[in-house]
């Protein structure tokens, strides 16, 4: 799995205003900004991202994924971009 492949999988399953994926092929970090996160708790946001990966998490194709899940308003208010 490459960062580009992981990016494509997440973006195909979730409407993203912004998506960054970095990692070493086993351990990944993703910054996901989506309007779908509006009104959802953090755990629900993470579950939504994990849902885009389906079996890839269970089969260890994606071993570890650290997620920063933000709404567009939250992203706009950060100084990280």
Question: Would the pLDDT of 14 be above 60?
Answer: yes
- Give the residue extent of every domain in the chain: 3-76
Phi-psi region of 56 (alpha: psi -120 to 50; beta: other; left: phi over 0): alpha
| Prediction pTM value | 0.90
Task: Return the pLDDT at 79.
Answer: 65
Q: Read off the pLDDT band of 25 (50, 70, 90).
A: confident
8 Å CB contact between 28 and 49:
no
**Average pLDDT score over the chain:** 93
What's the count of helices (H) and strands (E) in the chain, helices before strands?
A: 4, 3
Task: Return the pLDDT at 39.
Answer: 97
Task: Return the pLDDT at 29.
Answer: 97
Superfamily of domain 3-76 in the CATH hierarchy:
BolA-like (3.30.300.90)
Strands (E) in the chain, as ranges, are 18-23, 27-33, 64-70
């Amino acid at each position: 799995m490459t960062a580009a492949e992981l990016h494509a999988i997440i973006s195909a399953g979730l409407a993203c205003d912004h998506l960054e994926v970095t990692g070493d092929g086993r351990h990944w970090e993703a910054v996901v900004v989506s309007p779908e996160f509006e009104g959802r708790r953090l755990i629900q946001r993470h579950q939504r991202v994990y849902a885009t990966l389906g079996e890839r998490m269970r089969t260890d194709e994606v071993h570890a994924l650290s997620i920063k899940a933000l709404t567009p308003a939250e992203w706009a208010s950060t100084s990280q971009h």
